[in-house]
């Protein structure tokens, strides 16, 4: 029996998963590292912290598993997207990494769009310039830290830096490179036209590979640090979104993943490159060779319910602490007492602005339609429904782009609630399913390691061996037309409030 390791270099820590060839989880480990917030809207981390957490995670994984290290077949990585790691000619880190959630680059996004042209930018990279992407961060360093910019010999993404420390090989793979805003997503290679327009040296960028290629082997030095065997094959891996998709079996057109975590995502693979001309959904490269995916993102999905819990759920939190239960379970039971539609109460989940479909950092959360008839239970259910209306925005765009939707798989914390699953089925007007695995991107990275090293011949073989549907929920017929009517109201509210959101943002400045 062989074993595989998947590592996810996330925003809060490194998650490691060790599985066998049947997909059974043998051990897991998670090691935190600090998040630096030097100024409002800024977010940075020290790459050395990623490496230290990686070493501890790998040591713990094998210690917990108690397996023969000779049985390890390969390791692969997932990671937070978009983060900028700047290295000098001796591969030393020049400054702390600027992360995906950093918001300092609005001016650089505007400059990139002006120089390249909004239409041309989407044609070249399939995406608009957003603060989260890597390219605006690189431009910010050029403009605000010219001395650091002059020292740059190579830039990497977070997981690519960790892989470099494991192998001494610098490289990037297509699914993560797609989020730099410098990749020709269609051709799966760097966009020379874009780099020339912005005067960015090609030498800054490492060679780009497919996710399943072997990047190199574990060096003797890294082997001594981690406790893994020297020479272990290290596979390139993928961005956290594609690794999560792989871990959920979303590896072919027709399968769609809807995730409610802190944020919410809708991921739909496509065999052909499809662009939304308005840039409302992203088009990125999948970790499956010659497959792409569309992705809609909402900022405050599970965060909406967490915000409610933290500020208005003191009783439920206390009960959970006393009983060992979960405050969210109490919320679900309370929300079940009121009818679908919450008697006209509608939640706009724009607590941190919104990406899909509005691309509006000024958007605000709104509880609309409050009357004396409404109770806490109505508010809780309205929050659950409002999040799903926001996810439906992404599905509607994807449907309009003629991407087939055969099966919708639910994942993330929101998939644990039976009520929230039913609300999704009703508002989407589509059967939804859950599967037997919900270990996140690290699990998908382990599968990529298996495909890359030949443990699995294909992604399809891996999915058939490991993944199975455990639950199916169909829409409640009577709820579908009611939710359709409320969804139209939900959509109209943003249009009517957009100028007010902007006005409030100006006052706050």
Between vectors from CA 446 to CA 233 and to CA 223, what angle results, nearest 5°?
40
Task: Convert 91-153 into a string of H (helix), E (strand) and C (coil).
Answer: CCECCCEECCCCCCCHHHHHHHHHHHCHHHHHHHHCCCCCCCCHHHHHHHHHHHCHHHHHHCC
Between vectors from CA 237 to CA 80 and to CA 453, what angle results, nearest 5°?
160
Q: Which two tokens mark 141?
A: 């360093």
- Cβ neighbours of 297 (radius 10 Å): 22
> Is-catalytic flag, 310?
no
Q: Of 176, 240, 276, 426, which is the active-site residue? A: 240
Structural contact between residues 442 and 15, judged by C-beta atoms closer than 8 angstroms: yes
Q: Is 151 exposed, middle or buried (0-12, 13-18, 19+ CB in 10 A)?
A: middle
Name 235's bridge partners.
76, 214
Structural contact between residues 182 and 198, judged by C-beta atoms closer than 8 angstroms: no
Coil, strand or helix at 25: strand
Structural contact between residues 337 and 331, judged by C-beta atoms closer than 8 angstroms: no
Q: Please enumerate in sequence order all residues whose Cβ is within 8 A of that of 248, keeping only pairs 6 or more positions apart, or say none.
A: 257, 409, 411, 435, 437, 438, 444, 467
- Catalytic annotation, residues: 240
């Amino acid at each position: 029996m062989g074993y595989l390791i998947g590592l996810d270099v996330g925003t809060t820590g490194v998650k490691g998963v060790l599985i066998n060839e049947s997909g059974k989880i043998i051990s897991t480990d998670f090691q935190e590292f600090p998040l630096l917030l030097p100024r409002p809207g800024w977010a940075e981390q020290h790459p050395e912290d990623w490496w230290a957490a990686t070493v501890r995670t790998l040591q713990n994984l094998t210690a917990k598993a108690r397996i023969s290290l000779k049985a390890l077949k390969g390791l692969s990585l997932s990671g937070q997207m978009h983060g900028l790691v700047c290295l000098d000619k001796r591969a030393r880190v020049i400054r702390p990494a600027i992360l995906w959630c950093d918001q300092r680059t609005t001016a650089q996004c505007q400059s990139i769009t002006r120089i390249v042209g909004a239409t041309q930018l989407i044609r070249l990279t399939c995406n608009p310039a957003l603060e989260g992407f890597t390219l605006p961060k690189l431009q910010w360093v050029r403009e605000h830290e010219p001395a650091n910019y002059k020292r740059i010999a190579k830039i990497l993404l977070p997981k690519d830096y960790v892989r470099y420390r494991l192998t001494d090989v610098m490289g990037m793979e297509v699914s993560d490179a797609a989020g730099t805003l410098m990749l020709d997503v269609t051709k799966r290679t760097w966009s020379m036209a874009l780099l020339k327009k912005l005067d960015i040296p090609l030498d800054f960028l490492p060679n780009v590979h497919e996710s399943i290629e072997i990047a190199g082997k574990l060096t003797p030095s890294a082997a001594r640090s981690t406790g893994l065997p020297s020479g272990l094959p290290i596979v390139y891996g993928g961005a956290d979104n594609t690794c999560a998709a792989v871990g959920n079996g979303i590896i072919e057109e027709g399968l769609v993943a809807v995730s409610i975590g802190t944020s919410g995502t809708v991921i739909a693979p496509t065999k052909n490159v499809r662009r939304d001309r308005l840039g409302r959904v992203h088009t990125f490269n999948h970790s499956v060779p010659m497959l792409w995916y569309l992705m809609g993102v909402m900022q405050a999905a599970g965060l909406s319910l967490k915000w409610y819990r933290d500020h208005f759920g003191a009783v439920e939190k206390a009960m959970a602490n006393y009983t060992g239960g979960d405050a969210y379970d109490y919320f679900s039971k309370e929300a079940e007492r009121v009818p679908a539609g919450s008697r006209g109460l509608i939640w706009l989940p724009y607590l941190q602005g919104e990406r899909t479909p509005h691309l509006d950092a000024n958007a605000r959360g709104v509880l609309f339609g409050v009357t004396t008839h409404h109770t806490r239970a109505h508010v809780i259910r309205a929050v659950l429904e409002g999040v799903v209306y926001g996810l439906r925005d992404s599905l509607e765009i994807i449907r309009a782009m003629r991407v087939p939707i055969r099966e919708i798989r639910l994942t993330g914390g929101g998939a644990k609630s039976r009520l929230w699953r039913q609300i999704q089925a009703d508002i989407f007007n589509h059967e939804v399913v859950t599967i037997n695995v919900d270990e996140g991107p690290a699990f998908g990275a382990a599968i990529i390691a298996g495909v890359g090293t030949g443990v699995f011949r294909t992604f399809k073989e891996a999915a058939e061996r490991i993944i199975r549907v455990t639950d199916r929920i169909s829409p409640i017929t009577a709820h579908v037309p009611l939710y359709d009517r409320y969804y139209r109201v939900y959509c109209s509210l943003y249009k009517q409030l957009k100028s007010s959101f902007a006005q409030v943002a100006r006052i706050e400045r």
